[in-house]
Chains A and B, each alone.
Chain A
């Protein structure tokens, strides 16, 4: 089946550091989505990318849709404690959304 591969699986960082994570696919997606999931909650859409090469920001978050339409990255600048959570890349396929396995972000005290 279709797979989205996210890396890294986990990240342990200090507060204030910048974060970078990425997502690759063996097949093309026409839309890339980045979601965040807090413990005990559902995923919340952070950024949606609709055009190859598009670079979009949402506050301290920046995401890019790769030119080949097979990859995307998400950057978080100056991390804060509430950034802790699981970040999923996802892509719509027909009427469903395909999710990656997530990158787990931990912030060290």
Chain B
């Protein structure tokens, strides 16, 4: 998974705190996707961003969750007032274009644990 960098790899938060997850896409990739994986499940799409724009946020909860991909710097997935159910692995992927023939490359994820 060289290329897509996610940090932190592990994040522990208490209920009510904020969690910030960062993703730096592969060099030359301007399309970023966030997915969530619960134990024993596949990855579920949350949000798709291009530089400075949210293109599709249909998989992201309307409350407490937000995402951004600024002109400079990494993409950020922000979860406010975390609850136990937010515990999961969050993966970021990037691609050169949004074409279905262009593969999405995944990072190694951030494992979020809520105490």
Contacts and interface: CB of A to CB of B under 8 A. Distances in A.
Interface of A: 4, 30-31, 33, 40-45, 48, 50, 88, 90, 92, 94-102
A97 B107 contact: no
A96 B56 contact: yes
Given A31-B100, A31-B101, A95-B56, A100 B42 contact: yes
15 contacts: A40-B108, A41-B109, A42-B91, A42-B108, A43-B91, A48-B103, A88-B42, A88-B43, A96-B33, A96-B45, A96-B56, A97-B93, A99-B35, A101-B40, A101-B41
B12 interface: no
B103 A95 contact: no
B69 interface: no
Nearest to A9: B40
Interface of B: 1, 4, 33, 35, 40-45, 48, 55-56, 59, 91, 93, 98, 100-101, 103-109
Given A95-B56, A99-B43, A42 B106 contact: yes
B92 to A, nearest CB: 8
A42 B45 contact: no
B103 to A, nearest CB: 5
A69 to B, nearest CB: 13
Given A96-B56, A97-B45, A102-B41, 4 more contacts: A30-B100, A41-B1, A45-B103, A96-B59
B32 to A, nearest CB: 11
Contacts of A88: 42-43
Nearest to A93: B100
Contacts of A95: 33, 48, 55-56, 98
A96 B104 CA distance: 9
Nearest to B104: A97
Contacts of A98: 45
Contacts of B107: 42
B108 A96 contact: no
B109 A96 contact: no
B108 A41 contact: yes
Contacts of B4: 42
